[in-house]
């Protein structure tokens, strides 16, 4: 139970129209300040001021990433409980709420289009680009090791790109399915699989941010160098969770937190890496535990990137 003073502070923070709209928007996933100014059609200083009040009260949490900051609902405490209680009572047919949802959808669609254009441009040289950043051979060996020698019935590779993970893990599944939104990437993936004579894997066009559950149920879902293209990786993981069989696993490879802003401006990255704390929070929210973590520093030293591998297991 919250003390009276704490409860009054929470109610004051939440009891304002724009701040209630912000809570409702953040219930759909993390957003940057820039996104929220576009959705609400308000100035950046005003939106930032409202977010600060919500964060100070413990209703939302802030994650700074380079020059940007992302906000999401608080994951615990009285503030989180009050925020959830309020959100369940929002009338989603309210005209203002409907407009916010429409603008939110438009913002996300524009971000996906930007990423799609980038992927189309670099599809042919995608694997070469990856080797410029990380020790790819070591990471690939670790992904294989994460499956502990098992051969699973179905492995799903989300954001399969050129199909490299389906090739690397070909001996670890009876059937593999890769999903990607880029036709250019899928063309490269099909050629790769054909050249490697991998007949037990297929790739298909699909939106990995709005997954068709019929792709599963999978024993293992792989998400390799994908989550940093999403404003809200937790929302993406919740989608992946829907594809798993009971007792299934998610294997994630992505960058550790970094400050290389050019990856955002030139390579369509939305998040500048993912931290261990963030991954544990996202995993817990979908009923999973992080039971394996490995790090792979770049050969480039201080100016390079560190790649992390996480394995998530079903708590049940």
For residue range 42-95, list pLDDT tens digits in order. 999 999 999 999 898 888 888 765 667 778 788 778 888 888 888 888 888 889
Q: What is the pLDDT of residue 5?
A: 64
CB 79 within 8 A of CB 58: yes
Residues ≥6 apart with Cβ < 8 Å to 217: 154, 243, 244, 245, 248
Question: Quick one: pLDDT at residue 128?
Answer: 45
Residues forming CATH 3.40.50.150 domain(s) in the chain = 124-314
From first to last of the 316 residues of the chain, give the pLDDT tens digit.
456 666 676 777 777 888 889 999 988 777 888 889 999 999 999 999 999 998 988 888 887 656 677 787 887 788 888 888 888 888 888 898 999 999 988 887 776 666 566 556 665 545 544 554 566 788 899 999 999 999 999 999 999 988 899 999 999 999 898 998 887 777 778 878 877 888 788 888 888 877 777 888 999 999 998 888 888 888 889 989 999 999 999 999 998 888 778 777 777 777 888 889 989 999 999 999 999 999 988 766 555 688 899 999 988 7
* Record: fold of 124-314: Rossmann fold (3.40.50)
Phi/psi at 147 (5° precision): -85, -5
Length of the chain in terms of residues written: 316
Beta strands in the chain (DSSP E): 31-32, 60-65, 68-73, 152-158, 173-180, 201-205, 218-224, 244-255, 288-296, 307-314
Check residue 182 and give its pLDDT: 81
**In which residue ranges of the chain is CATH 1.10.10.10 found?**
4-90
At 74 the pLDDT is 82
What pLDDT was estimated at residue 129?
Answer: 47
Residue 174: what pLDDT?
A: 92
Which of 178, 168, 185 shows the shortest CA–CA distance to 125?
A: 185
Residue 184's CB: how many other CB atoms inside 10 A?
17
Using CA of residue 46, residue 51, residue 57, residue 62, what is the dihedral sign?
Answer: negative
Instruction: Give pLDDT, residue 271.
Output: 81
Question: Order of strands across the sheet with 244-255?
Answer: 201-205, 173-180, 152-158, 218-224, 244-255, 307-314, 288-296
Query: What pLDDT shows up at residue 288?
Result: 95
- Give helix then strand counts, H and E, for the chain: 13, 10
Which architecture characterizes domain 4-90 according to CATH?
A: Orthogonal Bundle (1.10)
Q: What is the pLDDT, as a whole number, of residue 67? A: 65
């Amino acid at each position: 139970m919250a003390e009276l003073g704490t409860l009054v502070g929470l109610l004051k923070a939440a009891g304002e129209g724009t701040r209630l709209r912000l809570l409702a928007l953040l219930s759909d996933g993390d957003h940057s300040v820039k996104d929220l100014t576009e959705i609400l059609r308000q100035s950046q200083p005003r939106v930032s001021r409202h977010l600060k009040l919500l964060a100070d009260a413990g209703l939302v949490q802030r994650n700074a990433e380079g020059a940007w900051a992302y906000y999401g609902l608080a994951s615990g405490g009285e503030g989180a409980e009050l925020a959830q209680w309020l959100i369940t009572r929002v009338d989603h047919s309210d005209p203002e709420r409907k407009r916010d949802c429409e603008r939110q959808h438009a913002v996300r669609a524009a971000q996906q289009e930007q990423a799609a254009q980038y992927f189309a441009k670099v599809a042919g040289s995608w694997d070469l680009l990856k080797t410029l950043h990380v020790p790819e051979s070591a990471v690939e060996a670790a992904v294989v090791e994460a499956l502990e020698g098992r051969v699973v019935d179905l492995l799903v590779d989300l954001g399969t790109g050129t199909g490299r993970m389906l090739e690397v893990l070909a001996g670890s599944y009876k059937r593999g399915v890769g999903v990607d939104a880029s036709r250019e990437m899928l063309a490269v993936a099909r050629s790769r699989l054909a050249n490697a004579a991998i007949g037990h894997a297929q790739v298909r066009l699909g939106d990995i941010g709005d997954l068709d559950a019929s792709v599963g149920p999978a024993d293992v879902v792989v998400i390799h160098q994908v989550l940093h293209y999403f404003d809200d990786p937790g929302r993406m993981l919740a989608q992946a969770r829907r594809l798993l069989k009971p007792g299934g696993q998610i294997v994630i490879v992505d960058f550790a937190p970094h400050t290389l802003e050019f990856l955002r401006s030139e390579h369509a990255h939305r998040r500048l890496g993912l931290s261990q704390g963030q991954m544990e929070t996202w995993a817990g929210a979908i009923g999973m535990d992080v039971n394996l973590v490995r790090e792979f520093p770049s050969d480039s030293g201080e100016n390079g990137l560190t790649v992390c591998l996480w394995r998530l297991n079903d708590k049940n």
